[in-house]
C-alpha cells in the first residue's frame, strides 16, 4: 500500500500540473519506501535528493505557467514554494548530519514524511486550486 494515494479531488484541472503533482506523490511514496524499507544511506540520500530536485523543477514550471497567464496570486504562491524548498532542504541537511554522527534518524524520517504528505495536499487543495479558474478562463486545461 502506498503512503499517499492520488485521488481525483487533488486534480487542479490542468493536465501538465496534475501529472507533475502525481509525480510528487510518487516520489514521496518512494521516499516512504526507502525509509520503511531501511534502504542504505546512499539509497535514502539519492531518493531524498531526487524528491528535492523534482520539487524545484515542478515549482519553476508551475510558476512559469502562472506568470504566462498573469496569475494575480503569483507572488504569495512563490513564497509558499520557497518556504517548502527551504524546509525540505533543511530536513535533508538535518538527516545527513544525523547519519554522519551515527544518530538515529527514524524520528526525523517519519517527521519529514508526515510534513510532506500534509503540505502537499494542503497546498494542492487550498493554494493550487485558487489558480484553477484563472487557468481555465485562459483555455489551459
Residue bearing the bigger pLDDT, 39 or 21: 21
Structure pTM? 0.91
Q: What is the percent of the chain with per-residue pLDDT over 70, rounded to a whole number? A: 96
Domain ranges of the chain: 19-137
Say how far apart CA 3 and CA 29 lie, in whole Å. 6
**pLDDT at 43 exceeding the cut of 90:** no
Say how far apart CA 8 and CA 112 lie, in whole Å. 25
Say how far apart CA 109 and CA 105 lie, in whole Å. 6
Q: Which CATH architecture has domain 19-137?
A: Up-down Bundle (1.20)
Q: Which range among 7-21, 43-57, 103-117 shows the weakest confidence by mean pLDDT?
A: 103-117
**pLDDT at 104 exceeding the cut of 80:** no
Mean pLDDT value of segment 30-56: 87
Question: 89 is written with which cell numbers?
Answer: 532542504
Kindly report the average pLDDT of the chain as a whole number.
91
Say how far apart CA 48 and CA 30 lie, in whole Å. 9
Question: 62 is written with which cell numbers?
Answer: 508551475
Amino acid at each position: 500500500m502506498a503512503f499517499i494515494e492520488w485521488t481525483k479531488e487533488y486534480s487542479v484541472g490542468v493536465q501538465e500540473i496534475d501529472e507533475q503533482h502525481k509525480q510528487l506523490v510518487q516520489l514521496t511514496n518512494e521516499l516512504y519506501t526507502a525509509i520503511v524499507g531501511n534502504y542504505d544511506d546512499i539509497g535514502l540520500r539519492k531518493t531524498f535528493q531526487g524528491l528535492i530536485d523534482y520539487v524545484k523543477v515542478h515549482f519553476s514550471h508551475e510558476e512559469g505557467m502562472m506568470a504566462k497567464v498573469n496569475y494575480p496570486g503569483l507572488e504569495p504562491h512563490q513564497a509558499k514554494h520557497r518556504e517548502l524548498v527551504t524546509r525540505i532542504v533543511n530536513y535533508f541537511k538535518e538527516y545527513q548530519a544525523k547519519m554522519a554522527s551515527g544518530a538515529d534518524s527514524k524520528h526525523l524520517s517519519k517527521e519529514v514524511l508526515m510534513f510532506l504528505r500534509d503540505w502537499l495536499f494542503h497546498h494542492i487543495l487550498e493554494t493550487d486550486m485558487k489558480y484553477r479558474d484563472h487557468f481555465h478562463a485562459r483555455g489551459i486545461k
